[in-house]
Amino acid sequence: MNTKWIKSTAAVVLLGFILSLSVHGATVTKGLIGEQDQHKWSGTSADKTFTRATSTGGTLTLNSVGYEVDALISYGGGVQYNDVTITSALTAIGVTEKCVLVLRPGTWTISNNLSITSNIVLKRLPGTIISVASGKTLTFADAKQIDSGTYYDDPFSGAGSVAITGGSTYTPASTLTAAVLKALVITPAFATAAEDLAGAVSSKAIAPLTNPQLIKNLKPAVNAAVNKLDIFTKSGGAVADATNIISVAVPDGNGYTFRSRSTTYLSGSSQFVMADGANYWSKGSLDAEIKTAWVYAIWDGTGIVWALSGYSGYTMVPTETTITFDDYFLIESDSTYTRSNAHYCVAVAKIRYQYDTADTPDHTIKSTVLDAPRVIWSPRSDYGKTVALTTTVTSTANIVEDSRVSIVSKQSGAFMISGHAYGYCSGAGDYYITIWIRVGSAAYASAVIKASGRVFAIAAGGVGGDAVQLTPVRVLVNAGDTIHLGIEVMGASGNRQIFGDNNVIGNTLLSITAVD
């Protein structure tokens, strides 16, 4: 039998039938496709692709439709808006495959306790309401698992609870509003100014170039008792606590590290008390004379201790305990801290005060205008002092060169050093006065000459006296070095003298000023 002829005949008959339908007014109806006609991704790893037959009788591997999981279509049969559908999805997806589970607009009822595993983000669309039944809890590992889009409408309803693991539980569920959720989820990448001020920035970056502070939240405040200085926080107006934290960058030999004070440390009161009769740093008692002191933050390896010094520029804690010495640190009241030269420190604030033993109390810490406490981080050293010859030196013979005024430097660095002396000869004849600056050894003869000057005079039958002034000279000095003002007075006759403050104040003196 001729099979080719039979197939051709059948095709012709079928074509004729179709044409006859058209001729007699028949219509062909095409149906629309629906969600279920598509192979959507179900959220599992195995379902990312699928295979279907082709019109030629072969097979074709295709990607499943979508990159999010439609809970209603894939697991709810297109009709179940409830926790059963969500649970089915969670079970199928497992706990390792990360995906977004979409809840279509409508009210989704949660009638049983339900926990959303951490690999799932639950995405609701505008119009989607998640209603949690009374006594039931919907739990999320993190608030960021709740994707509520623009946070335009409230996502939850019902008398039940929504819990964030490690965070808050919201009962009824409706209290987790769109605004609350937005605050939980859309956290600024950088700390706010208030958070940074309070020190609450452990999980956030500080905005670049907006807050370059090396001292944060520090507020030195003069107490009602004017000889007391309180170390307060700016945010709390009181001593530091867990909410109001003071942070200081403390140089430690390898740059600096931020250290903080958030509570009482070593029993310290965060207050300095300047005692009556205490001539701190030998700066003297004089009515209306304003003096300077510096607040320091000491890092002892565990916490911050506050100290007050007469000078800026220290980086390691001096161990001196004599209050009249230049390098004395007044430690905050009640502190059990023990001074150690192994501990790093940095100046963080400047205060101005007056010391006058005729006042009550003797010390008055200034609190107004330019003299008010100022926060300043690690200023350049202001160490310097002037020491005068106290008592006039008188001799019937020549006064030979020796150290007449000296200063032991408590800091290292470059100093401008100057000297001034007034010499006198009561007899007739020639005389001269010479002065030297020597630095180094405590023994004058062993110290190194850095500068000298002389005045020579011919006195024709009369007495003579002159002053010698050395132009300031820059000298590198080590902490512990002795700086000497050496003086000699040579004359032909009579008494030779070097005037001290008991004769004329300021006639003979030695001055040093740190410049580096």
pLDDT value at 149 more than 90: no
Q: Residue 64 has what DSSP assignment?
A: P
Longest CA–CA separation in the chain, Å = 165
For the ranges 53-67, 100-114, 136-150, 270-284, which has the lowest average pLDDT?
53-67
Region 26-38 average pLDDT: 71
In sequence order, which residues have a C-beta less than 8 Å from that of residue 349 and are 6 or more positions away?
Answer: 215, 218, 220, 294, 295, 373, 374, 375, 376
φ/ψ of 366, rounded to 5, equals -75, 145
Q: Are 369 and 301 in contact (CB under 8 A)?
A: no
Tens of pLDDT, residues 289-320: 999 999 999 999 999 999 999 999 999 999 99
Region 6-27 average pLDDT: 51
Region 456-477 average pLDDT: 80
Q: What is the pLDDT of residue 188?
A: 56
Average per-residue pLDDT for the chain = 88
Answer whether the bond into residue 126 is a cis peptide, omega within 30°: no
Give the confidence band of 209 by pLDDT, cuts at 50, 70, 90. Answer: very low
Region 67-79 average pLDDT: 90
pLDDT value at 430 more than 50: yes
pLDDT value at 461 more than 50: no
Buried b or exposed e, range 178-197, using 16+ CB within 10 angstroms: bebbeebeeeeebbeeebbb
The CA distances from residue 195 to 131, 200, 246, 437, in Å, are 35, 5, 12, 54
Q: Are 196 and 206 in contact (CB under 8 A)?
A: yes
Q: Are 173 and 161 in contact (CB under 8 A)?
A: yes
pTM of the model: 0.63
Task: Give me the residue spans of the domains in the chain.
Answer: 69-185, 215-380, 385-514
Tens of pLDDT, residues 383-402: 999 999 999 999 999 999 99
Q: What is the pLDDT of residue 299?
A: 97
Give the confidence band of 458 by pLDDT, cuts at 50, 70, 90. Answer: low
Q: What is the pLDDT of residue 184?
A: 81
**Cα 478–484–485 angle (5° rounding)?**
145
Residue % of the chain over a pLDDT of 70: 88
pLDDT value at 160 more than 70: yes
385-514: CATH class: mainly beta
Q: What is the pLDDT of residue 130?
A: 95
- DSSP-derived 3-state class of residue 243: coil
pLDDT value at 194 more than 70: no
- The separation between the first and the last C-alpha atoms of the chain, rounded to the nearest angstrom, is 117
Q: What is the pLDDT of residue 210?
A: 44
Q: Are 424 and 393 in contact (CB under 8 A)?
A: no
* Amino acid residing at 262: S
**CA separation for the pair 122, 131 (Å, rounded):** 14
Q: What is the pLDDT of residue 410?
A: 97
Give the confidence band of 38 by pLDDT, cuts at 50, 70, 90. Answer: confident
